[in-house]
Amino acid sequence: MVTSAYLEGNWGPVHDELDVSDLHVEGELPKDLRGTFLRIGPNAQFAPIGRYHFFDGDGMVHAVRVEDGRASYQNRWVRTKGFQYEREAGRALWTGFAEPPNVADPPHGMMYKNVANTALAQHASRLYATWEGDAPHEIRLPGLETVGQDDFGGRLDYPFTAHPKVDAVTGEMIFFGYTLWLPYIKYGVIGPDRRLDHYVEIPLDVPVMMHDFAVTEHFSILLHLPYTFRMERMERGQVPLAFEPDRPARFGIMPRRGDASQVRWFELPACFIFHVWNAYEEGSRVVLLASRFAGTDVMGASPEATKLDYEGGRAWRFTFDLETGEAREEQLDDAQVDFTRIDDRLTGRKNRFGTAAHFARGTEMPFVDGVTRYDFERNRSEKHLFGKNRYGGEMVFAPREGATREDDGYVVGFVHDEGTGQSEMIVLDAREVSRGPVARVRMPRRVPYGFHAAWVPA
């Protein structure tokens, strides 16, 4: 029988869908906090075919709705086509990332199933569950019903990043998608009217895993980092994706509605970036804030290389001067952090603050044991640790109703107690996260560890 640590304990799936109101609250939920906290992650419907990778599980959304000091809970699977086919069959039909696909006879003509399990994006009054290998799925609030995949009027013919960027000023959603075949990347802009009205190819010398990117007011930044796909590795029976420390990290800066001829490439020493906080412009310079890893082996090509992931990401600032061509990088902190977040209203504009998941050191699994809040202007940070045997995940900024300042609101996220088996949603004052929760909302069931989160105002 195939086993995986990611199918056990609170990493493992739950199999029922609940609707529970009037949750127990310790402390007091602020009256000016009104909206829905959502967290998505992998939740395998059936036992896997072969080895299981944490990225494989079917997407499930957990939601806590907050209003007038009261809270309710709901969870739903994202009902993708693959999910429905497997439910009808009563078993798994597709292999995951740790096993080769059924190339000769792919189930229902699909090499992989779109699991829609990675992140959540809000654009033009719609909510999307994303997965970087295919189109996003629209999810309808408040009931979390799956509307279906959105190809934006038939124009989307490529994968769609798990982390599109939405400009709150222009209403645009900027995205890219990557593949193993030429041109390797397509990049696009979707207007506030939901029309995909800018869509271009970006050729590269070698395909790479590009999980995130960044935008500023006028530019987009592509991360061509040395975690490369090479078919010759697959022909030798190896995992085709591997980190190449001798290749530089390349950062491609292009006008938001530019094309391949307008990309300017900057090079820095090899690294990997899973997630960025933000990017912005200062005169002729473009500044990028991100969690930088020395390298990665997230797909498990080499047991020796996997330690690079567990050395963890660190807060770094990258600066690219468009006049001089100079590129610089500097480490800001030694804490082990990732799942970087800001006040989403400032995407592409200068931000002062950001939060990140704080990862425990010396654990076999990637446990998040707290949250770190950064003041990038003063180069300061503070953190809240969840406590002994308590772990969580990504926490997001939720502005107070009527808030206009960047730090005027709360930091919200799930925490699970490994000792008692109890899960809860905690609410921190964004200006004083080190003081601990102002409210703790007890969940009616355990909430498995997952990926990314979102806050949708009422």
pLDDT, tens digit, for every residue of 24-49? Answer: 999 999 999 999 999 999 999 999 99
- Find all residues with CB under 8 Å of 10, minimum gap 6, and list them: 391, 416, 418, 423, 446, 448, 449
Lowest-confidence segment of 97-101, 242-246, 378-382 by average pLDDT = 97-101
Q: What is the arithmetic mean of pLDDT over 221-227?
A: 96
Average pLDDT value over all residues in the chain? 94
| Residue range 356-414, pLDDT digits in tens | 999 998 888 899 999 999 999 999 999 999 999 999 999 999 999 988 899 999 999 99
pLDDT reported for residue 230: 85
SS3 389: coil
With bands split at pLDDT 50, 70 and 90, how would you rate the model's confidence at 298? confident
Q: Which domain holds residue 404?
A: 5-457
For residue 277, pLDDT over 60 is answered with yes
- 421 CB-near residues (< 8 Å, 6+ apart): 446
CA-to-CA distance for 344 and 399, rounded, in angstroms? 10
Measured between alpha carbons, how far is 196 from 338 in angstroms, rounded to an integer? 31
Say yes or no to pLDDT of 308 above 80: no
State the Cα–Cα distance between residues 374 and 322, nearest whole angstrom: 27
User: Of 235-239, 321-325, 410-414, 447-451, where does mean pLDDT reach its minimum?
Assistant: 235-239
pLDDT band at 182 (very low <50, low <70, confident <90, very high): confident
Residue type, 284: S
**pLDDT tens for each residue of 112-156:** 899 999 999 999 999 999 999 999 999 999 999 999 999 999 999
pLDDT of residue 2: 55
**If we measure between CA atoms, which residue out of 238, 326, 244, 257 comes closest to residue 285?**
326
pLDDT of residue 305: 47
Per residue in 314-364, pLDDT (tens digit) is 999 999 999 999 999 999 999 999 999 999 999 999 999 999 999 998 888
End-to-end distance of the chain based on CA atoms, in angstroms?
A: 46
Q: What's the pLDDT score for residue 406? A: 94
Residue 207 near residue 180, CB atoms below 8 Å = yes
Sign of the CA dihedral running 92, 240, 290, 358: positive
Q: What are the phi and psi torsion angles at 140 (to 5°)?
A: -95, 130
- Whether 192 has a pLDDT exceeding 70, the answer reads yes
- Tell me: is residue 163 an annotated ligand-binding position: yes
The dihedral through the CA atoms of 300, 301, 304, 310 has a sign that is negative
Residue 23 has a pLDDT of: 98
Q: How much is the pLDDT for 351?
A: 98
Could you read off the pLDDT of 355-369 as tens digits, one per residue? 999 999 888 889 999
CATH number at residue 46: 2.130.10.10
Yes or no: say if 51 and 98 are a contact pair by the CB < 8 Å rule: yes
What is the number of other CB atoms lying within 10 angstroms of the CB of residue 328? Answer: 12
Query: 82-93: buried (b, 16+ CB within 10 Å) or exposed (e) per residue?
Result: bbeebeeeeebb
Confidence of residue 310 (pLDDT cuts 50, 70, 90): very low
Distance CA 336, CA 367 (A): 11
DSSP 274-293: EEEEEEEEETTEEEEEEEEE
Residue 11 tokens read as 């990493």
Q: What is the pLDDT of residue 131?
A: 97
Long-range contacts of the stretch 92-97 (C-beta < 8 A, 24+)? 92/44, 92/45, 92/46, 92/47, 92/48, 92/49, 93/49, 94/49, 95/48, 95/49, 95/50, 96/48, 96/49, 96/50, 96/51, 96/52, 96/53, 96/55, 96/56, 97/53, 97/55, 97/56, 97/299
**108 is annotated as contributing to ligand binding:** no
pLDDT, position 294: 93
3-class DSSP assignment, residue 74:
strand
Pair of tokens at residue 187: 């990049």
How far, in Å, CA of 222 to CA of 219, rounded? 10
Strands (DSSP E) along 241-367, which ranges?
241-243, 249-255, 264-268, 272-282, 285-293, 314-321, 327-331, 337-341, 353-359
Q: What is the pLDDT of residue 33?
A: 97
Residue whose structure tokens are 């709150």: 168
**How many structural domains comprise the chain?**
1
* Mean pLDDT, residues 96-117: 89
pLDDT, residue 300, reads 67
Question: Is 309 in a helix, a strand, or coil?
Answer: helix
For position 156, what pLDDT does the model report? 97
Q: What SS3 state is found at 89?
A: helix
Question: pTM for this structure?
Answer: 0.95
CA distance 352 to 63: 28
